[in-house]
């Protein structure tokens, strides 16, 4: 078990009020757009301050704080473009994908755009997995993460980002088969949908591939209904602990087993640590119960493996200094805000909290608050270290009507999601440029820890103490 990642010195929290004040003064002139939906304290603050004035149909990302010397999307004071921090080649790159059912089409469209930009920089063979050390996903985000990191026969990514997007367009209606006339009643008595269509699709696509087969570190979140604990599957752990080396099929069925929509998934994984022929049984449901936004889980896993594990990146990062050594892209699936008056809520019984006018209030509230707090926490940490450019959160609040549904698989709704996603994109593609530069810089670094330690690097403050309890 991992108890904590300790830094040498924790930055003073007294910085936080001044940082918030500094952001609010800049927010008046900050521009909207792809470069970031959040990415610093702003993510949450911007939403709180602007939600009353925001048009329900707006897909524009929330304003974000500018760094000291530049404003996102514009030129810096010295005429240079905004830049990320840290030493090129010496950073951990992390991609995090939220849960959200068919709304996974939103990050899929964003990733298609990103991959196309990377191909413009580095050639047609470039793939998303080539640029991220960790690809983490919850629920539908876990499905995308798996598709982008599963290997083909040549040990290259099985699917392109465009193919992952097309997966939603082609398969969503099959996975979310049209419910019957009594669907609201049957969903109270059992799962709304059968897992059979998904099982067949995954069997045809992923076959017998396992976690350790992934072309880069894959991290999938789930929750075990028997132990009542979150279970995180990732390649680095699976290479050391056999019981975490599940098939990718099983992981996708588990992380997407959203309560009331799909049944929980039970499966066994060989566990030689317990004796010859022994297995470990999992009883899993949707990772959104644990972390609908898995960005912080991904960061903790990556840092843990680097500092006290067997990370393959130890050679190029012999001494991890802090947030400037991270480059994080977090993609949401859209924020749907359904408001309830307290007087109305006060009269609700158990059933109304679970199903109310076609909505699932308690599930929506838990997932919205979880994603919000994760974004806020990460944003504050990066801003305290004054490297907020290294964290990019893309999220849209333009989710209304049928688009808010996690199972709205009609062609019209899917096209609306694509159109909404396209409004998030920025032609300047700064993040793609930074990823390309990071990848190229790694080719110039020495392989050994001793040689790498002798290279000059940017000044950095230590990572603040972060505590958690996972393998």
Tens digits of residue pLDDT in 83-109: 789 989 999 999 999 998 899 999 999
271 is catalytic: no
Contacts of 110 (CB under 8 A, 6+ apart): 331, 394, 421, 424, 425
Is residue 309 in a domain?
Answer: yes
**Buried b / exposed e along 162-196 (16+ C-beta atoms within 10 A):** eebbebbbeebbebbeeeeeeeeeebeeebbbebe
Is residue 334 in a domain?
Answer: yes
Q: How far apart are CA 41 and CA 425, in angstroms?
A: 22
Where does 258-404 have alpha helices with state H? 288-291, 295-308, 342-346, 350-354, 361-384
Q: What is the mean pLDDT of the chain?
A: 77
**Which has the closest alpha carbon to 167: 99, 108, 252, 103?**
108
Is residue 442 in a domain?
Answer: no
Q: What is the arithmetic mean of pLDDT over 391-407? A: 79
The yes-or-no verdict on residue 407 having pLDDT over 60 is yes
Q: Regarding predicted confidence, which is higher, 362 or 349?
A: 349
Contacts of 78 (CB under 8 A, 6+ apart): 69
Contacts of 12 (CB under 8 A, 6+ apart): none
Q: How far apart are CA 393 and CA 411, in angstroms?
A: 28
Predicted pLDDT of residue 81: 62
The yes-or-no verdict on residue 293 having pLDDT over 80 is yes
Q: Is the pTM of this model over 0.85?
A: no
**Which has the closest alpha carbon to 361: 373, 374, 350, 372?**
350
- Which CATH number belongs to the domain containing residue 312 in this structure? 3.40.1090.10
Do residues 83 and 433 lie in contact, with contact meaning Cβ atoms separated by under 8 Å?
A: no
Q: How far apart are CA 223 and CA 229, in angstroms?
A: 6
Structural domain span for residue 305:
92-180+191-340+359-431
Q: How far apart are CA 397 and CA 59, in angstroms?
A: 6
Give helix then strand counts, H and E, for the chain: 17, 10
Q: What is the pLDDT of residues 227-282, one digit of tens each?
A: 999 999 999 999 999 999 999 999 999 999 998 889 999 999 999 999 999 999 99
Is residue 83 in a domain?
Answer: no
Is residue 301 in a domain?
Answer: yes
- The radius of gyration of the chain from alpha carbons, rounded to an integer in Å, stands at 22
307 alpha carbon, distance to own chain's centre: 22
The yes-or-no verdict on residue 335 having pLDDT over 90 is no
Backbone angles phi, psi at 210, to 5 degrees: -120, 175
Is residue 392 in a domain?
Answer: yes
Burial of 383 by CB count in 10 Å (0-12 exposed, 13-18 middle, 19+ buried)? buried
Q: Given the residues 217, 286, 305, 407, select the one marked as catalytic.
A: 286
139 is catalytic: yes
Quickly state the pLDDT bin for 467 (edges 50, 70, 90): very low
Q: Element (H or E) spanning 470, and its range?
A: strand 466-470
Q: What is the arithmetic mean of pLDDT over 196-215? A: 95
Q: Given the residues 40, 139, 311, 436, select the one marked as catalytic.
A: 139
Is residue 456 in a domain?
Answer: no
Q: How many domains does the chain have?
A: 1
Is residue 416 in a domain?
Answer: yes
């Amino acid at each position: 078990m991992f108890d904590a990642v300790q830094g040498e010195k924790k930055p003073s929290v007294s910085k936080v009020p001044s940082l918030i004040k500094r952001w609010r003064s800049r927010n008046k002139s900050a521009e909207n757009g792809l470069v970031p939906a959040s990415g610093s304290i702003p993510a949450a603050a911007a939403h709180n301050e602007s939600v009353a004035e925001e048009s329900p149909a707006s897909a524009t990302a929330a304003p974000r704080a500018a760094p000291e010397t530049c404003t996102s999307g514009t030129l810096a004071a010295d005429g240079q473009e905004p830049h990320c921090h840290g030493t090129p080649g010496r950073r951990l790159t992390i991609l995090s994908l939220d849960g959200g059912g068919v709304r996974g089409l939103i990050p899929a469209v964003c990733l298609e755009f990103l991959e196309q930009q990377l191909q413009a920089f580095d050639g047609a063979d470039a793939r998303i997995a080539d640029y991220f050390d960790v690809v983490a996903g919850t629920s539908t985000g876990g499905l995308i993460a798996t598709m982008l990191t599963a290997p083909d026969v040549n040990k290259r990514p099985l699917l392109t980002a465009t193919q992952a997007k097309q997966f939603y367009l082609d398969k969503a209606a099959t996975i979310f088969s049209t419910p019957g006339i009594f669907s609201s009643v049957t969903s109270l008595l059992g799962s709304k949908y059968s897992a059979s269509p998904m099982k067949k699709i995954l069997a045809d696509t992923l076959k017998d591939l396992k976690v350790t087969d992934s072309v880069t570190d894959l991290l999938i979140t789930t929750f075990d209904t028997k132990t009542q604990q979150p279970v995180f599957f990732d390649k680095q752990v699976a290479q050391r602990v056999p019981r975490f080396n599940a098939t990718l099929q099983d992981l996708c069925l588990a992380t997407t087993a959203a309560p009331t929509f799909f049944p929980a998934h039970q499966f066994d994984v060989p566990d030689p640590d317990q004796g010859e022929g022994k297995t470990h049984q999992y009883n899993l449901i949707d990772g959104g119960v644990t972390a609908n936004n898995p960005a912080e889980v991904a960061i903790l896993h990556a840092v843990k493996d680097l500092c006290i594990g067997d990370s393959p990146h130890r050679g190029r990062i012999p001494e991890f200094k802090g947030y400037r050594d991270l480059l994080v892209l977090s993609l949401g699936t859209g924020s749907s805000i359904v408001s309830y008056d307290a007087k109305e809520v006060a009269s609700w019984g158990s059933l109304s909290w679970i199903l109310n006018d076609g909505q699932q209030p308690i599930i929506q509230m838990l997932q919205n608050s979880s994603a919000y707090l994760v974004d806020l926490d990460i944003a504050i940490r990066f801003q305290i270290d004054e490297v907020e450019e290294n964290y990019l959160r893309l999220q849209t609040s333009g989710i209304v009507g049928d688009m808010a549904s996690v199972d709205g698989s009609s062609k019209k709704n899917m096209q609306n999601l694509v159109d909404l996603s396209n409004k998030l994109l920025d032609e300047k593609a700064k993040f793609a440029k930074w990823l390309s530069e990071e990848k190229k810089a790694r080719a110039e670094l020495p392989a050994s820890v001793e040689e790498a330690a002798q290279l000059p690097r940017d000044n950095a403050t230590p990572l603040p103490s972060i505590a958690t309890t996972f393998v």
